[in-house]
Structure 1
Amino acid sequence: MTEQTEKFEFKAEVNQLLDILIHSLYTNREIFLRELISNASDALDKMRFAISCDPELNDDVEPEILIAYDEEKKTITVTDTGIGMTRDEVVANIGTIAHSGSAEFIKQAAESKESLDSLIGRFGVGFYSIFMVSDHVVVRTKSYKDADHATQWISDGKNSYELSTIEAEMDHGTSIEIHLNEDMVDRFGSDDKLRDIVAKHSNFVSFPIMIGGERVNTVPALWREPKFQIKDEQYVEFYKFMTYDSQPPITTLHFAVDAPVQFNSLLFIPEKDLDIFGMDRDNWGVDLYVRRVLIEKQNKNLLPEYLSFIKGVVDTEDLPLNISRETLQDNLLIGKISSTLTKQVLGQLLKLAEDDAEKYAKFWKAHSKIFKAGHMDFLNRDKYSKLLRFDSSKAEEDTLVAFDDYIERAKEDQKEIYYAVVASREAANLNPHLEIFRRKDIEVLYLYEPIDEFVMESMRQYNDFDLVAAEYADLEKLDKFESSEKEDEPEPLSEDQEKDMEALVAKMKEILGEQVADVKISERLSDSPCRLINPDGAMTSSMEKIMKAMNKDDSIPTKVMEINAGHPLLRSMLEIFKTNADDEFIAMSSRQLLESALLLEGYLSDPHALVGRIQNLLTKAGGWYAELEKKD
C-alpha cells in the first residue's frame, strides 16, 4: 500500500532531454540493463562501506542483485539490497534531472557540431535509458537510514512523475520495475535473453547477479585479485574463457598501475596468431571495464596496433564515461592509460626475453610480423628496438639475434650494424654484396621480409651503432679490418692489360646500351663476376622493388653494373677481346652477366633469352672440352 501521493511536472527542458536520451543517444538498447546493474552494484558498494564505517550497524540482508521477468505482466524487475534512497534523495537523484544541468546540455547539443556522445558525459543520467524499452517505470526504494519509510517513484518518461510513501514492509535497497513496450518483449522478454545480456556486459560485477534462482556471473574478475593468490591454472582457464582458444597462452601479463591513472590489467599473449587466414585483421583490441562493468569490447585505443595480438582486459576506477557508456568522454585519460599500458607491456616482454629465451622465441615466431610494425612508435623506441630479432651470418641454426648480441661480437672500432635483405641463407651465400663481409668476417643481419627494411630505415641507429645496408657499406670503414683468410689473389693486370680492361668495360657498356646506367670495375668483389647497384646509391635494391610494387611498376630498373676484373670469366673475356673486340662471345657474355645479376636481384621476369644463351654456351663449351679430351 502507498499513501501521500504527489504529482510533479517535468520542466520543458527535461522533456527535451528525455526525448534526446530515448530516441537519439543509445544505439544499443540492451544497455539499459547494464546501466541498472551498474547502479545496483554502486548501491551495494556504498552499503558495504557504510557497514565498515559503523560497526554497530546490524545488517543481515544478503548483498545481491535480483533480476526477474514476469511473462504475464511483461515486466523486468531489477532489485538490489544496497544502500537505498530516502524520499529527498529520490527527488534529488532521479526526480529532478534539471539539477544535473539539462538546460545547459540541450543548449550545447543544439549549438555543437560534435556528436551527442561527446557532450553528455557530464550529466550522469544513465538511469533514464530504461525509457528506451518501457511504457512506464516503477521505482521502490528504502534507505538503510530510514527504518520506517520507503518511497515509490512512477513515471512514463514524458511529462510528469509521481511520488508516494510505501506502507508495506521493505528491506533497504531499490527495486526497479520496467513495463516493456510491446515491440521490446521479443527482444528482452525471457530469463535466457536477460542472462545473455548480463554475461556480455556485467559478467564480472563483484556481487551475485541472480536470474531464475541461479547466479549468472560465476567467473571472478581475476584481474582484481592479488597475483600471489592466483594459480597458473586459473589464468589459463580465464584465457580460454575469454578467447575460446584451446591452447594456453605463451605468457600472462598481470599488473596494477596507480599513476598517472589507476587501472588493473590482465593480458595474454596467445601461442599462435588467432587470425589464421588473415581475414579478420580488424578483430583486435583490449576489453575496457570500469569497476568490473564492460564499457567497450575490443577497445582499439588502449594498445597500439602493433600489439594487437594481445588479448585481455583493462579495468579502471578513474575513467569518466558518457551517459551511454558506448563511447568514452575523455580521450586524454584514455591516452594516459594507453601510454602507461604500452610501456608496461614492452617492459614485460623485455623481462620475458631475458628470463625465458625459449618462450620469447615462441612469441617472436607467432607475432613478429605484427610486432615489427612498431618501428613507428618513436616514444617507445628504446624498448622496442631491444625486442627485435633477426637471423644472422653468425647465428646458430634456429637461433635469432638481437642488436645487443651483434654488438657483443662486433670487431674493435666497428660502429656499424650491417644488414642485407635476402630470400634465404642460401641466397645470402650467393649475394655479391656480401662477399667482402665474408672475407672480412664481419657479421651481417639477414632480413627476410619487406617490413624488416622499413624497420631499419626508420630506426637508423641503435645505441652508438649506425644501421647500414651492406649493399652501400663504406669501403674505407671495411678496409681497416684484416681479411679472415688468405685469399687466392688473381695475378695483377699489367699496365697494358689495365688499358685493355678499360676498353672491354667501354665495349660492354656499348653492348648493353640503355639497359645499364654504366659499367665499372668493382673494388669490392672477389668471388662473383659482377653486381648491380643503384646509380645514386639512395635506395637499396630491395627497397626499390618494394616501391616499384607499390606503384605497380613492373619495368626493369636501369642500374650500374660493377664487374670483377679478377674473375676468370672476365679474364677470358679480356683475352678474347684483345684478339677480336667484336667477337660474339663478348656480347653474349655481357648480356649473360647482366641477366644473371638481374635474376639474383629478382628482376628478371622472362628468363627465356638467358636460358637459350646458357644452352648455346654449354654447346660450344662442350665441343671445346671434347676436343681437349681427344688431345689428352
Structure 2
Amino acid sequence: MAAKGAGNFKFKAEIRQLLEILVHSLYSNKEIFLRELVSNASDALDKIRFRQLAGEEVLSPDTELDIHVSTDKDANILTVTDTGIGMTRDELVENIGTIAHSGTADFVRQAQEAKDKSQLDSVIGQFGVGFYSVFMVADEVIVTTRSATAPDESWVWKSNGEGTFTITPGAEDAPRGTTIEVHLKDDAKEYADPDRLKRIIERHSNFISHPIFVGEDRVNTVEALWREPKFSIKQEQYDEFYKFLTFDSEGPADVIHTSADAPIQFNALLFVPSKSMDLLGGYQGQHGLDLYVRRVLIQHENKDILPEYLGFLRGVVDSEDLPLNISRETLQENVLLRKISQSVVKHVLSHLKKKAENEPEKYAEFWKEHGKIFKLGYSDFAHREDFAELLRFETPAMPELTSLASYVERFKEGQKDIYYVTLSSRDAAQTNPHLEIFRKKGVEVLFLYEPIDEFVMDSLAVYKEHRMVSVELADLAWLDELPDENKSDDDSTKPEAMTEEQEKTFTGLLERIKEILGERVTEVRVSKRLKDSPVCLVSPDSHMTSGMQKIMRMMSKDESIPPKAMEVNPDSPLIRNLLEIYQKDSQDDYINLASEQLYEAALLQEGYLTDPHGLVSRIQDHLTRSSSWYKGR
C-alpha cells in the first residue's frame, strides 16, 4: 500500500511542452542550470536564517548554513545539497515548478516560434525556467528534501523530464534541507568534473553570501564588498576587489560605492581605472557593469546601466528587486533597470563634481585619462548642466585645466560670450591667425583639440546664458573697441597709415587677388581680425565653424576644398610690399605667385591642403629669388 501522499503524477500540459523544448534544445549556455540550482539553494538558506532571526523553532538549529556540490565521475552524477528550509510534500509539489505560475505559456509559444538556434537561446533566457533547466543536462533528477518547520517526514521527488514525476517518502533520518541528485546525460559528462563546476560557480555565483563547497574546497572566497557598509571597508580591500574584477595590475584611481532604497533598491560598487582602456583612440572605452540579482551574476558587462560616456567605469550593480531570470532582451526594456540606471548616473556625476571641487589635481588626472570618452556626454540632454560643469579645457592664460565656470569668472569687462578655437596642438595657437586679435586684446580662448569638441560646443550652445562662440564667428566690432593689452613685437615697425591714393590702389590689389584665385574664394576683403599674419581664410557661412565644416564633409566623403572668404591684413609688411609691386605693374607675375602661395599657406593652416606639390615648388622659387637678392646686399 502506497504511503500517504505518495504517488505518480503528470506534469501540467504546459510544463510537458516546456520540458520537451529544454530536453531537445541545442541551447548553448547549458551551464546556467547550475546557477539556478545554487540560487535556489541560497534562497532556501536565506529563508531559514530569517526564521531563526525571527525566533522561530526549526529542525537542527545549530546546523551550518552552506551549499555542497559533489560529483561521482564514474556514475556520471552531480549532487547539490543545501541545509536550508527544505520542503513539505505540498510545498514540493507547489514550489518545484514555480515557472508554472508565471510565463510558461508565453515561453512555450515563443520557443515554438523560434526559427533558429540563436532565437531559441534568447527565448530561453527570457523566462524563469529555474529548476527545470536541469533537464537540459539530466536523464533523471532526484530531489530529497526535509522541511525545517514540519520535520516529521522527508520526501523524494523523481522525474526523467518526460511528462511524469513521482513522490515517495524519504528516509526517517534524512537531514534538514534539500539534496538534488542529477544523473547526467552522456553529452553532459563535463558537469561531473569538479574543476568545470568550480569555474561555473566562480563565474555566476561567486558572491553568494553562503559558503559554496565543491568537494572539500570552498569556491566563493571573494567577499561581495558592495553589500558591506562603506565605513567598514579599507582601501586595500577595494584595490584587491578591483584587481580581481578587472585583472588590472594597478589599483583604481577612484572608488564610487553607493546604494539606494527608493525608488528601487540596489547596491553599486564602481571603479575609475588609473589608465584609460581606450588604447586605439576610437572612443571604445565602454566595458559595462556586471549586473547581479541577489549576488547572482545575471549579465557580465551590461552596457545598458551606464551611458556610453561613463563607460570607462568598471564595477558591479546588485539589486534585490530585479527578477533573477531576466534576459538581455528583457533587461533593455525593463523599467526597474532604467530607474537603476538613472540613479547610478546621478550618483556618478555627483561624485565627479565633488572630486572636481575638492580635489582638482586628482580630477585633472581623471580628465587626462578619461576626458575623451566623457565628452561623448554631449548628447545626454537630461544631465546637460552636470556635464557642462565637469568639462575641462586648456587656455593660453592658464597653466592648468579650466572649467567653464572658472573661465566665466575671468571674463573681460563687457564680455558676454565664451570663445573657443579648434587646434591641432597647443603650439598651433601661436600661428593661428584667428587668435591674433584675441591675443592682442587679452581675451582668453578655450583650446579644442579633438573633432568631438566641435559637437560638444555645438550641443551645449549656451552655458549660464553665455553663448559658445568660435573665434571665427566672433563679434569683431566688440573686440576692436577693447584696449590693447598685449603689444606685438612688430608694433615698432608697423607701417604708417595708408594715404588716400594707397587705399584706392589697395582696393585694386584685392580685386586682382580675387581675379587670380577665382572661384576658390568667395571674396577678398580687408581684415579686422589680423594683426600679424598677412592673410587668413574665413568660412562664408557664419553659422558653421571650419572645424565642423570639415567634419561634415568627411562624413559625406566630400574631399573637395570649400570656397572661403580671404581676409587680407593691410598692415602686414608683406602685403605692403605687394601693394608697391601692384602700383608699378598690376599684372606683375610676382603677384600671381604670392597670391597662390598665400592662399595655399592659409589652406595648410586650415587643414585643407592635401596636395602640397605646388606650394613646395613656389617656396623653392621664392627662396631662389630671395637668396639672389640676399647675396647681393
The normalised TM-score by structure 2 is 0.93
In structure 2, distance between residues paired with 1:542 and 1:513:
24
In structure 1, distance between residues paired with 2:610 and 2:109:
66
Alpha-carbon shift at residue 160 of structure 1 (Å):
0.5
What is residue 447 of structure 1 aligned with on the other side? 448
Change (3 A) 1:593 1:326: closer
Alpha-carbon shift at residue 391 of structure 1 (Å):
1.0
Contact kept? 1:25, 1:324, Cα under 8 Å? no
Alignment partner of 1:49 is 2:50: yes
What is residue 142 of structure 2 aligned with on the other side? 138
**1:468-547 → structure 2 map (5 Å cutoff):** 468-485=469-486, 488=491, 490-547=495-552
1:70 pairs with 53, 69, 72, which one? 72
What is residue 407 of structure 2 aligned with on the other side? 406
In structure 2, distance between residues paired with 1:329 and 1:603:
43
Contact kept? 1:321, 1:330, Cα under 8 Å? no
In structure 1, distance between residues paired with 2:332 and 2:628:
84
Change (3 A) 1:299 1:103: closer
In structure 2, distance between residues paired with 1:379 and 1:100:
36
Alpha-carbon shift at residue 274 of structure 1 (Å):
2.8
1:245 pairs with 229, 233, 248, which one? 248
What is residue 292 of structure 2 aligned with on the other side? 289
2:95 pairs with 93, 96, 99, which one? 93
Change (3 A) 1:534 1:55: same
Counterpart of 1:86, as a letter, is: T
Local SS of the residue matching 2:231: helix
Local SS of the residue matching 1:34: helix
Local SS of the residue matching 2:264: coil
What is residue 419 of structure 2 aligned with on the other side? 418
**1:589-628 → structure 2 map (5 Å cutoff):** 589-627=594-632
Structure 1 window deviating more from structure 2 (320-329 vs 347-356): it is: 320-329
**1:243-392 → structure 2 map (5 Å cutoff):** 243-277=246-280, 281=284, 284-322=287-325, 328=331, 331-392=334-395
In structure 1, distance between residues paired with 2:126 and 2:421:
56
Alpha-carbon shift at residue 117 of structure 1 (Å):
8.3
Change (3 A) 1:258 1:481: farther
In structure 1, distance between residues paired with 2:133 and 2:238:
35
> What does the per-residue CA deviation read over 1:183-235, in whole Å, with 9 as the maximum and x for residues that have no partner?
100x2121111111101100000000011112110000000001000000000
In structure 1, distance between residues paired with 2:329 and 2:588:
79
Contact kept? 2:15, 2:104, Cα under 8 Å? yes
Contact kept? 2:37, 2:131, Cα under 8 Å? yes
Alpha-carbon shift at residue 450 of structure 1 (Å):
0.9
Contact kept? 2:126, 2:330, Cα under 8 Å? no
In structure 1, distance between residues paired with 2:211 and 2:239:
23
Alignment partner of 1:182 is 2:186: yes
Structure 1 window deviating more from structure 2 (269-278 vs 313-322): it is: 269-278
Counterpart of 1:475, as a letter, is: L
Contact kept? 1:296, 1:326, Cα under 8 Å? no
Counterpart of 2:593, as a letter, is: M
Contact kept? 1:519, 1:563, Cα under 8 Å? yes
Alpha-carbon shift at residue 98 of structure 1 (Å):
4.4
Counterpart of 1:383, as a letter, is: D
Alpha-carbon shift at residue 400 of structure 1 (Å):
1.2
Structure 1 window deviating more from structure 2 (115-124 vs 461-470): it is: 115-124
Change (3 A) 1:291 1:191: same
1:549 pairs with 536, 542, 554, which one? 554
The normalised TM-score by structure 1 is 0.93
Local SS of the residue matching 1:274: coil
2:173 pairs with 163, 169, 174, which one? 169
Change (3 A) 1:393 1:519: same
Structure 1 window deviating more from structure 2 (375-384 vs 322-331): it is: 322-331
Alpha-carbon shift at residue 79 of structure 1 (Å):
0.5
Counterpart of 2:378, as a letter, is: H
Change (3 A) 1:464 1:22: farther
> What does the per-residue CA deviation read over 1:332-352, in whole Å, with 9 as the maximum and x for residues that have no partner?
111111111111111111111
Alpha-carbon shift at residue 587 of structure 1 (Å):
1.5
In structure 2, distance between residues paired with 1:325 and 1:625:
75
Contact kept? 1:95, 1:161, Cα under 8 Å? no
Change (3 A) 1:224 1:96: closer
> What does the per-residue CA deviation read over 1:44-95, in whole Å, with 9 as the maximum and x for residues that have no partner?
0000011011265560111000100012321111000000100011111126
Alpha-carbon shift at residue 24 of structure 1 (Å):
5.1
Alpha-carbon shift at residue 472 of structure 1 (Å):
1.1
In structure 1, distance between residues paired with 2:249 and 2:20:
47
Alignment partner of 1:195 is 2:223: no
What is residue 41 of structure 2 aligned with on the other side? 40
What is residue 156 of structure 1 aligned with on the other side? 160
Contact kept? 1:256, 1:264, Cα under 8 Å? yes
Local SS of the residue matching 1:562: strand
What is residue 14 of structure 1 aligned with on the other side? 15
Unaligned regions of 5+ residues in structure 1, if any?
none
In structure 2, distance between residues paired with 1:76 and 1:278:
48
Local SS of the residue matching 1:391: coil
Counterpart of 1:425, as a letter, is: R
Local SS of the residue matching 2:96: helix
Local SS of the residue matching 1:239: helix
In structure 2, distance between residues paired with 1:97 and 1:259:
28
Contact kept? 1:118, 1:322, Cα under 8 Å? no
In structure 2, distance between residues paired with 1:251 and 1:202:
26
> What does the per-residue CA deviation read over 1:427-455, in whole Å, with 9 as the maximum and x for residues that have no partner?
11111111110111000011111111111
In structure 2, distance between residues paired with 1:163 and 1:575:
111
In structure 2, distance between residues paired with 1:286 and 1:16:
35
Structure 1 window deviating more from structure 2 (91-100 vs 51-60): it is: 91-100
In structure 2, distance between residues paired with 1:519 and 1:275:
44
In structure 2, distance between residues paired with 1:325 and 1:68:
31
Counterpart of 1:208, as a letter, is: P
How many residues were matched structurally? 624
Change (3 A) 1:122 1:148: farther
What is residue 463 of structure 2 aligned with on the other side? 462
Identity of aligned residues (%): 54
Contact kept? 1:440, 1:484, Cα under 8 Å? yes
Alignment partner of 1:562 is 2:572: no
2:151 pairs with 135, 139, 147, which one? 147
Alpha-carbon shift at residue 546 of structure 1 (Å):
2.1
Change (3 A) 1:326 1:73: farther
Change (3 A) 1:405 1:22: farther
Alpha-carbon shift at residue 486 of structure 1 (Å):
5.6
Change (3 A) 1:440 1:591: same
Contact kept? 1:137, 1:176, Cα under 8 Å? yes
Local SS of the residue matching 1:288: strand
